[in-house]
Amino acid sequence: MAPNPVMGAAPMAPNPLPPANNGEIKLPVPYWSQRDNMEQPFRTCNTSSCAMVAKFLGANISGDDDYFQYVIKYGDTTDHGAQTQALAEIGIQSTWNTDLDFEDLDKSLESGLPIVIGILHRGPIEAPSGGHMLVVIGRNANGDYIVNDPFGSVLDGYASEDGEGLLYPRDMLVRRWTADGAKTGWGRLFYGNNVAAAPTQVASAPVASTPPMQTLFASGNVPNPAATGQYITAEQLIQIAGGNAPADRLRELTPGLNETLQRFQINTPLRICHFIAQVAHESDCFNAMEEYASGKDYEGRSDLGNVQPGDGVKFKGRGLIQLTGRANYEKFSQAMNLDFVSQPEVVAQAPYAIMVAGWFWDNNQLNPDADNDDIETVTRVINGGYNGLDDRRNYLQRAKSVLGA
């Protein structure tokens, strides 16, 4: 991380039922059973579910067996990251989320987009277990949900093998989908850039005059977070960072990351991907919140504002893009209206470790370069050169796959 002139290198009780919207929606999503899959039929619920939605959105695939061949290029059929990459290859944008709720289902359906969700499909409703993926394709006037379940019907313990267009009660999904409380539903949201068919509206179904914010944000058209109030989830950040990253630290950093993305308008998927790629490299895959060296080499560096004895060590590089030197700590203090000069170690702690990276990004006007997908320029501004460019590219590609950019 070489410096540049400015910076150094048991389930809870189910949540209450949300109010049901009036009206009915049923999307004409094709149905494919996982039971007849040529490979791993009892493990391919995720693949069959994603394939159904992909075909509905216009992907050029003949069936779930065809789509399976894309998935295994990137990983196991149960790997959500592999599904994201496979879908991206066939032109489908999506994100995997672990903090969804019924509001997210309704908003997506109202915009004409099905959702793949993960439920606890085994055992009684009072104590569900297991893990299974299916497609939510609609909703009735009572607020229950119409699904394509690739393995059959959970309502009879999968004695029935035909899972097309089933009605799964909302109160059952409360226990099997959001078993740990509000905003705990797992699922894949899709973005309607190439939806092949409009939803069938019945009775008094609401018709959205504009797509929901999640669709617009994912397309990079408006600077707003997803409907969940987040630009990125901890699970997505962990997927991007990879197995060498400290997962607990990433969970700790995620709220501050979302605050930073909003504050500094790093608010489209492409901008977010470039930002994360840079901070991931600069922080040694989020393992280094401050510079490994002591900082003695910065002693007496007037160009960094180190004019008092001990300034080199005191104002060593900290944060995910290492803030270095008394002068820069003073500037960051002024920007945040906080005193980091008297307590410089705070810059290495959440949320300021990530906030300082956003501040530097904004000061150097890097959003336009990210919009141009110009990793060379972004790297040169942050690093002062092109050190670690290949590593930054790897993080960028992984981020694009996870976030669908």
Q: What is the pLDDT of residues 290-305, one digit of tens each?
A: 988 899 999 999 999 9
Six-digit token string for 159: 């004695």
Q: Which helix (H) or strand (E) holds 24?
A: strand 24-26
Name which of 56-65, 183-192, 374-383 the model is least confident about: 183-192
pLDDT for the residue 218: 39
**Whether residue 221 has pLDDT greater than 70:** no
Average pLDDT over residues 386-405: 90
Instruction: Name the amino acid, one letter, at 159.
Output: A
Q: Any idea where the domains of the chain sit in the sequence?
A: 24-218, 234-288+356-403, 296-348
CA-CA distance, 149 to 168, in Å (whole number)?
10
Name which of 1-5, 242-246, 347-351 the model is least confident about: 1-5
**Whether residue 207 has pLDDT greater than 70:** no
81 vs 309, which has greater pLDDT? 309
**Residue 201 CB coordination number (10 Å):** 15
Residue range 107-136, pLDDT digits in tens: 999 888 999 999 998 878 788 888 899 999
Domains 24-218 and 296-348 are alike in CATH topology: no
DSSP 3-state of 170: helix
* Closest to 31 measured CA to CA, from 141, 90, 114, 155: 114
pLDDT for the residue 127: 82
User: What CATH number belongs to 24-218?
Assistant: 3.90.70.10
For the chain, the average pLDDT equals 83
Instruction: Name the amino acid, one letter, at 229.
Output: G
Average pLDDT over residues 23-41: 90
pLDDT band at 256 (very low <50, low <70, confident <90, very high): confident
Predicted TM-score of the model (pTM): 0.47
DSSP string, 231-286: SS-HHHHHHHH-TTS-HHHHHHHHHHHHHHHHHTT--SHHHHHHHHHHHHHHTTTT
**Whether residue 222 has pLDDT greater than 90:** no
In eight-state DSSP terms, residue 44 is -
**Whether residue 15 has pLDDT greater than 50:** no
**Whether residue 81 has pLDDT greater than 90:** no
CA-CA distance, 138 to 199, in Å (whole number)?
9
Residue range 135-192, pLDDT digits in tens: 999 999 899 999 999 999 999 999 999 999 999 999 999 999 998 888 899 999 997 4
User: What CATH number belongs to 296-348?
Assistant: 3.30.20
Name which of 3-12, 330-339, 383-392 the model is least confident about: 3-12
